[in-house]
Amino acid sequence: MSHSDQVIPIRTNLIVFVILLALLFLTVGIAYIDLGVMNMVVAMTIAVIKALLIMLIFMHLRYTSHLTWIFALAAFLWLGILITLGLSDWLSRGWIDIPGK
Amino acid sequence: MLLGACFLGIKAIEWHHDYEENLFPGPSYTFKGKHREADLASNKEVPIKIASLGEPLDPGEQSDLRRQAQSLLQDYGKLREIDITAEPLPYRWQVTLRLRPIKVREPDYIAVQEGTSPEAAMTLCIRDLEQRFRRHTQMFFVVYFFMTGLHALHLIIGIVLVGIMAVLSWRGWFSGGGETQIEVTGLYWHFIDIVWVFLYPLLYLIDVHQ
């Protein structure tokens, strides 16, 4: 992690910061337009782009080995397991008929 | 650190406001007034049909009922459509209330006693609707307070960590340059970042267009 010898210039950080702010305003703007289910899709797509920017630049993923990438992705695997198990009650509703209900 | 502290300050004001409005989940939970419209958006399922034993309604009765429902639901703001159809079955009628943009997944019947008038059944239906709104919005606020609260906890930890790192490196405490420690603190800080990137649209911008 810490062995990315490269020090990111402040300029790059500032540019990413400005892009993130622009994407934030875009998210807010689009939220006010009725796109049906697409609202959520668009909002989450922008959120993913922002997360990728943060991870690649701010978290220095871009400048690290692919092994680090695998570990970073593994975190999302665990998050996926957490969310799936957390939703297990909601997801499995109605699978079994309960007499009297 | 400065921005993190600002965020916590804003949250404190917001929570205080929500608490004053009795939005904190618990026995005193109520939701009313301007919060309603926003809250309606968080409900995707609403009971919509009532069935009662009685004569099928004629068109005149139907429009009376429609007017009545409209006035009863006016407080709720968002009523856009009410369908009232008499079922072809004898001695049975049903009312369909559709509150858009809320979509109905499955019809839900409310049983009423034999001889209940359509008006009384309608009132029961609307009481049930209100109860469901109450439950659903309460669920939203449980999630909301939990998510923002946990995020605030992470932020407090982050601010303290960044502060410690700033002081230590200022004093030249690290034998090396302290790169690893500072890098890892940075990773933690940006993890909090990413969480908020997702939480903000999910909690604050969800369905605002409605």
pLDDT reading at B104 higher than 70: no
pLDDT reading at B42 higher than 50: no
CA distance A48 to B185: 22
Q: Is B186 helix (H, G, I), strand (E, B) or coil?
A: helix
Site from A24, A53, A59, A89 to mutate, B interface, most B CB atoms within 10 angstroms: A59
Read off the pLDDT of each residue in B6-16 and give the average, rounded to a whole number: 65
Q: Residue A7, by phi and psi: left (phi above 0), alpha (psi -120 to 50) or beta?
A: beta
Instruction: Report yes or no for ipTM above 0.85.
Output: no
CB contact A44 to B (< 8 Å): yes
Q: Determine the pLDDT at residue B119.
A: 65
CB contact B180 to A (< 8 Å): yes
Radius of gyration of chain B (CA): 26
Instruction: Name the residue facing A47 among B184, B197, B208 (closest C-beta).
Output: B197
Q: Determine the pLDDT at residue B33.
A: 35
Site from B205, B206, B207 to mutate, A interface, most A CB atoms within 10 angstroms: B205
Contacts of B103 in chain A (CB under 8 A): none
Q: Determine the pLDDT at residue B195.
A: 92
Q: Determine the pLDDT at residue A20.
A: 92
Q: Residues of chain A whose pLDDT is less than 50?
A: 1-2
A31:B208 CB<8 A = yes
Q: Determine the pLDDT at residue A9.
A: 82
Question: When comparing pLDDT for B89 and B26, which is higher?
Answer: B26
Q: Determine the pLDDT at residue A74.
A: 93
Read off the pLDDT of each residue in B179-206 and give the average, rounded to a whole number: 87
Q: Is B136 helix (H, G, I), strand (E, B) or coil?
A: helix
B194:A51 CB<8 A = yes
Question: When comparing pLDDT for B185 and B71, which is higher?
Answer: B185
CB contact B2 to A (< 8 Å): no
CB contact B208 to A (< 8 Å): yes
CB contact B201 to A (< 8 Å): yes
pLDDT digit string (tens) for B31-41? Answer: 443 333 334 43
Question: How does B39-50 read in b/e, with b if 16+ C-beta sit within 10 Å?
Answer: bbbbbeebbbbb
Question: When comparing pLDDT for B31 and B173, which is higher?
Answer: B173
Residue A59 makes CB contacts below 8 A (sequence gap 6+) with A72, B186, B187, B190
Residue B134 makes CB contacts below 8 A (sequence gap 6+) with B29, B31
B194:A55 CB<8 A = yes
The arrangement of strands across the sheet holding B93-98 comes to B49-52, B93-98, B81-85
pLDDT reading at B72 higher than 70: no
Question: When comparing pLDDT for B7 and B181, which is higher?
Answer: B181
Residue carrying the six token digits 């990728």: A52
Q: Determine the pLDDT at residue A23.
A: 92
pLDDT band at B202 (very low <50, low <70, confident <90, very high): confident
pLDDT digit string (tens) for B112-145? Answer: 555 566 666 666 666 666 666 666 677 778 888 8
Q: Determine the pLDDT at residue B44.
A: 35
A58:B193 CB<8 A = yes
CA distance B87 to B196: 50
Instruction: Name the residue facing A51 among B187, B197, B207 (closest C-beta).
Output: B197
Q: Determine the pLDDT at residue B89.
A: 38
The size of chain B, in residues, is 210
| Amino acid letter for position B125 | C
pLDDT band at B171 (very low <50, low <70, confident <90, very high): confident
Read off the pLDDT of each residue in B94-121 and give the average, rounded to a whole number: 51
pTM greater than 0.90: no
A60:B184 CB<8 A = no
